Structure 1
């Protein structure tokens, strides 16, 4: 066909006719091989092809009916095609059942806070809160047997939360926490012990020894920035899905248990970008656009002719993410500041001033730039904790880097499989937050 000089000549027409006949022969051979026929009635080619199409439709409908029987997916059934073989009354019953199932789905979606759009069902704030609550309930119910001994008692001292127990007044205590009924009781007991009178016309004389103040507890604020790796490698094994589950659960924990805390999420790939809570559900790993075994790229991001869209998006820039996290935490008026880095391996991108370096396989230059940023976090009193996910390509170098990064900022390293990440990170946050209170 490709050797023909013209597609309109007689030879081209003959070749096209031959191609069509060969296609018909192939379909007839498929008909004979897939189904067994009996009888003596002969069929023309057109009739045989019609029988083949009808049998294929029946097979497809049988598969749809079997799937609907197993999973109640009535919407999969092609009712128009089924109408060629079923009675009208049976179709009406099936249509009513399909409508009932659809109404049940819509009612359940409304109860769970799902919103239907042209793209399908989407999570509304109500649905996200429901998901958070169920996820947190699962996490902490699974961990309940190991809670004993994990939390210290609340610290007492000058604070904003009054406790029931009291203590004697000391110089410097705030009178705002004075236990007036207890102090008056002490005064009356002392007066009686000294032989004085109590009653109308007998004034009580308070003494400093009588004063009682409530013990108080200090509940300090914590500030946390969570770095979510969305580089290209996070698509393997669906790691990014578990990272997003963790983020939703952690936000639910902070909102429910520690509403005064600061929590910020940062998406990390070739660039780091702050993400609002409402954007977490839609986060996806960046597509891999370079497949060369060795990549050594440098881009001057100060050049007005170079934008982010010109840069391969799937690299891992921990240095930029830490820098952005440090800027957020610098504005928080609390000494309890931490960064949680969730990644699956070594960094492959970093900034040097305005120049962006993309280096793969991972290069020592990128590692040192990342460690320098971790030192800057440490100087500002920011702890960096690393949660290293188990990936298909993880090596000893990945683990050694995670230790270096955490040790530089006096943090910790945790190893977690992807499907356990939400439980590990949320429980670690909960334990550390409670230890701050204590």
Structure 2
């Protein structure tokens, strides 16, 4: 009896993991990937690609649904093709029997493996692992073993043949298990491959045709593949229906505001406005009831907008705000209560009612969006651009008097026109050294922005440009919204640009000085800190110091909630301004 110490300390495996046969990630998307939502789905894809994404007619058909009645005569044409395909499939299943072929394919694997396992030059450990991988038909395991063996090992050259035979067996077994065959004719392995390819093509076409019939989307059907199974007359009838559907789809796309160029379809200006409205609606839907809406009604004696509610008149109130009907009713009611003649009322000061008013104010805001290399992680830049589009739509629709600027921040900073928001992308990382200490004299005419590594984070330069924009604002209500994921790694000293990684105290000090200048000029800085793989406690502390220098705040939020928090903060800021 062996001692307990000689036993294998590893617990016995409860089963064997196999790869999924026929797994197609395109056909089985992960549960975290939401389905396309019409125009909203197209807009999301354009944001992720920096506005350069173009859509094919098939993708357009998925986003824009045509009513089935729009294609009269589509049903008979597709029904005829469906019947022909079903007949072809049934004939194949009634003819062939791939079960013996699968047995032969398995025997071929065993025959190839037998002399390999019998090779006396094999070490016992390698032989045991090789036997296990062959027995369990683990192609990936054999491939890994092939890489581990020495090049001059004789067995190594025989493993690819076994792998090929296993692949053939898997394809034949997939044919046997994937369809209900009832025939007697036994195919060869090569014939089995052809049968499987044909059945897969028929099933794809059947699915496409049924979806085309259900959702009026003949554009999704592959005509070249369909040509192999139907008569030319049937194909021509279907092609005519498809051309009619493409024309209707084109008209519907143009009504939605999409535009077509030589590369495909993209969102035009009107489609972008609809997309912004959809983003804004999703933001307000996610807010708690009562939080969203326009300004809270606040009483002012000399406000610009009258409210429906009234209050008693007081000495000094402007006569323009007088509610004459309510004042006369007060007078009549007082005369009647006092026993006087209500037909000859005598108006007094106590009878007068004036409308409550609400003052309107302007707010100047600069939104700084971090587009450094780290913002690509987790798709944070996508959430940042969605927030910008939603906020721009809110200001244009609800607060047209406000001034709103957007700024892109990377190794330097630049103001972004509203029409270019869709084109923003995080900068590529061009230096992978663990320590970077660079200085560039930007006063040198031979050095341009194109010569700089772009993926650093220059908060100081962004705040400097924001101060210049806010200095020209005709309102004392000024704020800066900074969206970033960590510490700054670039700053200016006069005309010298410093790019320092890891983050340097010299850069932090220059950034804090710029924030202090913003605070002294009456600006408020709110920092929205998004998560990053490299974020640590120092990033959080710096964000707090930066915001506190201007009496601002730090908001921690994940990318999926960024638009909701920024817009709620904007609305909250305006309410605070109005209540002053």
* Correspondence list, 1:49-68, <5 A: 61=201, 65=205, 68=208
What residue number does 2:573 align with? 432
What residue number does 1:124 align with? 268
The secondary structure found in structure 2 opposite 1:157 is: coil
What residue number does 1:5 align with? none
132, 138, 162: which one aligns with 2:282:
138
Q: Deviations over 1:355-403 (max 9, x none)?
A: 1111111111111111111101100110000001111221111111111
1:283 aligns with 2:424: yes
Mark the CA change 1:70 to 1:401 in structure 2 (over 3 Å): closer, same or farther. Answer: farther
1:382 aligns with 2:523: yes
Q: Deviations over 1:296-354 (max 9, x none)?
A: 10001001111111111111111111111111111112121100001111111111111
Separation of aligned partners in 2, 1:85 and 1:375: 74
Query: Which 10-residue stretch deviates more, 151-160 or 173-182?
Result: 173-182
The secondary structure found in structure 2 opposite 1:285 is: coil
335, 345, 348: which one aligns with 2:489:
348
Mark the CA change 1:87 to 1:170 in structure 2 (over 3 Å): closer, same or farther. Answer: same
Mark the CA change 1:60 to 1:135 in structure 2 (over 3 Å): closer, same or farther. Answer: same
Mark the CA change 1:405 to 1:60 in structure 2 (over 3 Å): closer, same or farther. Answer: farther
What residue number does 1:33 align with? 168
What residue number does 1:167 align with? 312
What residue number does 2:144 align with? none
What residue number does 2:511 align with? 370
1:248 aligns with 2:389: yes
Separation of aligned partners in 2, 1:417 and 1:267: 20
What residue number does 1:20 align with? none
Q: Deviations over 1:101-145 (max 9, x none)?
A: 534543442232111112332222211211122222222122143
What residue number does 2:543 align with? 402
What residue number does 1:157 align with? 301
What residue number does 1:83 align with? 227
Separation of aligned partners in 1, 2:336 and 2:503: 82
The secondary structure found in structure 2 opposite 1:293 is: coil
Mark the CA change 1:278 to 1:183 in structure 2 (over 3 Å): closer, same or farther. Answer: same
Separation of aligned partners in 2, 1:363 and 1:388: 19
Deviation of the 1:282 alpha carbon? 1.0
Give structure 2 stretches of 5+ with no counterpart.
1-159, 173-184
Deviation of the 1:62 alpha carbon? 5.9
Give structure 1 stretches of 5+ with no counterpart.
1-24, 42-47
Deviation of the 1:83 alpha carbon? 2.7
The secondary structure found in structure 2 opposite 1:156 is: coil
Deviation of the 1:167 alpha carbon? 3.2
Q: TM-score, normalised by structure 1?
A: 0.78
1:295 aligns with 2:440: no
* Correspondence list, 1:299-318, <5 A: 299-318=440-459
Whether the 8 Å contact between 1:150 and 1:431 is mirrored in structure 2 is no
Deviation of the 1:40 alpha carbon? 8.6
1:415 aligns with 2:556: yes
Separation of aligned partners in 1, 2:480 and 2:367: 6
What residue number does 1:225 align with? 366
Q: TM-score, normalised by structure 2?
A: 0.60
The secondary structure found in structure 2 opposite 1:421 is: helix
Whether the 8 Å contact between 1:178 and 1:214 is mirrored in structure 2 is yes
Mark the CA change 1:84 to 1:399 in structure 2 (over 3 Å): closer, same or farther. Answer: same
Count the aligned residue pairs. 400
Separation of aligned partners in 1, 2:199 and 2:511: 59
Whether the 8 Å contact between 2:297 and 2:358 is mirrored in structure 1 is no
Separation of aligned partners in 2, 1:430 and 1:315: 31
Deviation of the 1:261 alpha carbon? 0.9
The secondary structure found in structure 1 opposite 2:425 is: coil
Deviation of the 1:97 alpha carbon? 5.5
Whether the 8 Å contact between 2:310 and 2:353 is mirrored in structure 1 is no
What residue number does 1:95 align with? 239
Mark the CA change 1:345 to 1:74 in structure 2 (over 3 Å): closer, same or farther. Answer: farther
Whether the 8 Å contact between 2:205 and 2:222 is mirrored in structure 1 is no
Deviation of the 1:235 alpha carbon? 1.1
The secondary structure found in structure 2 opposite 1:357 is: strand
The secondary structure found in structure 1 opposite 2:405 is: strand
Q: Which has the higher strand share?
A: 1
Deviation of the 1:177 alpha carbon? 3.2
Whether the 8 Å contact between 1:151 and 1:435 is mirrored in structure 2 is no
